[in-house]
Each structure stands twice: as structure tokens, then as C-alpha cells.
Amino acid sequence: MLNKVDTEALAGARDAIRETPAAGIATYGVNLAWQNGVRANVSTLPMTLGGEEIPREFSWVVDEPPQLLGESAGPTPQEYLMSGVGACIMVGFVVNASVKGVKINSLDVKITGGLDLAGFLNLRDDAKVEMSGIKYEISVDADVDDTVLAEIEKAAVEFSPNAMTVARGIPLSGSVVQRDAKAA
């Protein structure tokens, strides 16, 4: 084990997924329950991995600052989005470093991004709704040269599901369902 990553287990998982591709299919979900104003309580739904259901029992609050009609009871949706991207890059960095035999002494991933609220508020045709971009900065203390760090960074980003989802975009679909107030 290096950096608390079991590289033997990782190799075993890779072999199992190579042999049975369905073993590598994961699904995730969350439920957002509106509280009031612009605040919601988010709770995880069970995930599946290779058809196996894995209980997930976490919850958190999403809110906006008072300047954006909230009460600052929790991070904003954009902060959660950026934390998901940053955490996924961090996981990839640690795993790739461990596979290469690189011990990490310390690691921070800083994520920043911007948003023109005129897009969200539909004030101008030229104002984009999506964020203008997300930038990461990885600060690491490891006993390795810059060439190896660059290789680790490249793999961490290029094989990060969250980073690539944001960078490449994916289809978004859904619907609205009217609840039967009498049944509730």
C-alpha cells in the first residue's frame, strides 16, 4: 500500500472489469428535497457497481448566500459542482501516483470558476447560462521530478469522469411530474 491505495486490489478490479465489462458499470443518484427559499437538503441514493447495490447514507445542504436570495446554510450548487470535479481529479492523482510508486507528502487541488448571473436571469442574449470555465491547480509535495508529476496530472485529468463530463458535456434529460396532493 502506498498513499493508502491498495494497488493490488486496483489491479484485481481492472482484471475483473476487463474480463466482465458489466462489473465496471456504476450508477449514482441523489435526491434534493426543497426546504425553503433557495435551500435544499440533498441525500444520496443507493449506488450500484456491477449490479450490486451499495447503500449510501449521506446528506448535505445546498444554499446560496444572502446576495443570491439564500441564507448561506451550505455551499452553492456551483461550489458542489467544482468540489466534485476537484475531488475526482484528486482521486485520480493519488491513484496514478501510487501506481507509479510515488509517495505523496501533501496534496491540494484548488478549483475556481466564474458565472455571469445575467445568463441565469435571462437578461441578455449574449450572456451564457453555463459557467465560463473551471480551472484547477494541483499543489503537491512528492519526491519525484516534474516530468513524472506531469504524467500523473495528465492521467488524473484525462481519466477523471467528473472532469471529462464537464469538459465534454453529456446529454441532460428529465421531466416534471405533478404530485397527487390527495395521496400525500
Asked whether residue 175 is domain-assigned, the answer is no
Cα separation, 136 vs 43, whole angstroms: 27
Same domain flag for 45 and 71: yes
Same domain flag for 84 and 32: no
Asked whether residue 83 is domain-assigned, the answer is yes
Same domain flag for 71 and 86: no
> Tell me, what DSSP letter sits at residue 159?
T
Number of domain units in the chain: 2
Same domain flag for 51 and 91: no
Q: What is the amino acid identity at position 99?
A: V
Angle at alpha carbon of residue 86, lines to 115 and 169, rounded to 5°: 60
Asked whether residue 176 is domain-assigned, the answer is no
Give 71-130 pLDDT, tens digit per residue.
999 999 999 999 999 999 999 999 999 999 999 999 999 999 999 999 999 999 999 999
User: Domain range for residue 5?
Assistant: 1-75
> Cell triple for residue 95?
491513484
Mean of the per-residue pLDDT values of the chain:
96
Q: Locate cell 491498495: which residue? A: 6
Same domain flag for 56 and 89: no
- 36, exposed or middle or buried, with CB in 10 Å at 0-12, 13-18, 19+? exposed
Cβ–Cβ under 8 Å, residues 128 and 116: yes
pLDDT band, very low/low/confident/very high, at 181 (cuts 50, 70, 90): confident
Same domain flag for 80 and 38: no
pLDDT at residue 142, rounded to an integer = 97
**DSSP E strands, 9-70:** 26-27, 30-36, 39-44, 47-49, 52-54, 59-62
CATH number at residue 159: 3.30.300.20
Q: What is the mean pLDDT of residues 26-52?
A: 97
pLDDT value at 173 more than 90: yes
Asked whether residue 109 is domain-assigned, the answer is yes
pLDDT band, very low/low/confident/very high, at 184 (cuts 50, 70, 90): low
Same domain flag for 25 and 47: yes
Same domain flag for 86 and 163: yes
Cα separation, 135 vs 79, whole angstroms: 13
Percent of the chain with pLDDT over 90: 96
Q: What is the amino acid identity at position 167?
A: A
Asked whether residue 161 is domain-assigned, the answer is yes
pLDDT value at 180 more than 90: no
Percent of the chain with pLDDT over 70: 99
pLDDT at residue 183, rounded to an integer = 65
Closest CA to 96 of 143, 147, 157, 22: 157
